[in-house]
Structure 1
Amino acid sequence: MMGPVLAACLLIILSTAWISQANGATCKKDGGVCTCNDQTKNVDCSSKGLTAIPSNIPTDTDRLDLRGNKLSSLPHTAFHGLNKLTILNLQFNKLQALPAGVFDQLVELDELHLQYNELKSLPSGIFDKLTKITYLDLDTNKLQSLPNGVFDKLTELKTLYLYNNQLKRVPEGAFDKLQNIKDLQLQSNPWDCTCNDILYMAKWLKKKQDEGLGGVDTAGCEEGGKAVLEITEEEAAEDCVYPNTTTAIPTTIITTLASSNDDDIPELPVPQENFQKFLGYQEPDHLPTQPQCLMSISGYLGLMMFFVLISAAILYVIHFLKKA
């Protein structure tokens, strides 16, 4: 009677192996693109040319390294289920925006690296769930402004890097809740010290300088090179007026075009992306990368092999019983 027992054991082993492969397809040992360390719970997906977040990242991952890829966007569910993550590295990608809620389940996160991307703005409340974070790096992006209260929930934050962006000011009260901040880097931004919006930041930085906070003198005015913390109310007396980002066609051009013959109107080049927006075309959130496609193929092949082996085991059992 050992034959049926061995066949049943074989079925169990094959089922377990296939399920393990399906759940761990992210890792190289299971045919994926990332290197996974079971002891440290680290998943290294750095410098893989990825254009989308790999699927099936183990839910017990402690550190996820996605730096040096080609990520230009993230789905809002990109990191859902990774509530044990403490370090997330997304630096050296091409991220242009962050969807609201993308970090909401990372309640244990300690470090977030977003430097060297192409972020122009941040959604309101984007960091609100990261109440344990101590390190936030946003340097070397294209940030033009910060939403009101963007750092209000980050009471444990010790390091904040905002240098090398396009910031002219910060909202009133932007830094007030950073009770544990130790290092704040603000250099290489075009801080506008001519209008009164800068006064909150100037007074806050001056106060923190007296308290010994490092980096408060790194913020320099766009004009004159004076430190922001040295700006007085007399120097920043103007009301802040920033140009409208919408563009209108000058009246003179409209009049000229209306009075011209069709043959005289020059052909204006239209950027492809603008034409696509005019037609209502939108790029999908992300496309599968070649490694992901290969993972899908390997999964299907594994499933086929699984059923073939099951069939063989069943035939073996039937043959043994007939023979008995």
Structure 2
Amino acid sequence: MTDHLQLFITTFVITLLAIFLMIPIANKIGLVDKPAGRKQHVGAVPLIGGICVFTGVALTLSWYGLPENVHYYYLLCGGIIVLLGVFDDFYDLSVKLRLVVQLLVGATMVYGLGLYVSNLGNLFALGDVSLSYIGIPFTLIAVIAAINAFNMIDGIDGLAGMMAGVSFVSVTLMMGVGGQLDHALLPMILVFALIPYLLFNLDVVGKGKGKIFMGDAGSMLIGLTVIWLLIIGTQSDSASFRPITALWVIAVPLMDMVAIMLRRIRKGQSPFKADREHLHHIFLRLGLNSRQALVVITSFSCMLATIGVIGEYLMVPDLIMLLLFLAVFSAYSYGLQHIWRIIRALRRYQNKGSG
């Protein structure tokens, strides 16, 4: 336990130092986010959160020389994703180029570790659903989906970091209880790397003068890390939880991305077209400030992840957990699509009741 605490403290300190070092560098080289269009923050904000989080994790893993071979592949893939994100923050790369690099990173993960989604569990109560080699393209799609889900949800201060924290803590708990103790270290190391970022991003430290953003480098790194851990947790020889539980662990980012992309496709738009229709945007337009929206969405994410974890340990049948997830997603998607109609109806009902 003492050794683990040392790992976590080291990660925290390295990440914190990296932030202090990178803020002036980012301002000098122009790695900043300037307010324009959909971006309504005040002043130029350094886009260094992802770089600093990765630095903290990478140096900690390298310093202590953790024996898991998977960590070296993780640092390779994570480094490529962070580099892609930095270039995207600088040059606003095309969607096609980002997808190609994400696909290559997914392929490196699959073929480097020899690990992919080959079994979906007993989803239909008829026995395990085996994907065989179809699992390889399925995994590549899952990698791209997870990376972009966290990238898309990174729209208000702290949101991507808090969503990641919910996923990492859930995975740590299940891996720890399920016997994957060595693998359980990585998500907790990520949590301690995220804490310094959140302190600056949420203005707990610096009070505006030290504010930083995650950047595409950070949100894509989080997405990669989450799907990486979910595949290890559900598909390796020492798997500690079921594939259906993985959906609950990333429920909010996943549902938000799918619902928004389906809406864009129905409108004849590109599914990757940027807009202000995400869940956090709707809360802001309803009158909540960004901190209130963060609390509500994080609480919702915690609730769904808790349902997944409890379902895992009570061994609720996969089919029931799947049907429940689809019901939640359907309600979420409908609510997101008809939110203003719902709000007007509620206000009419409220006015009628008060009258």
TM-score between both structures, scaled by the size of structure 2: 0.21
Highest RCO, 1 vs 2 (Cα 8 Å, sep ≥ 6)? 2
- Structure showing the higher helix proportion among its residues: 2
TM-score between both structures, scaled by the size of structure 1: 0.22
- Structure showing the higher strand proportion among its residues: 1
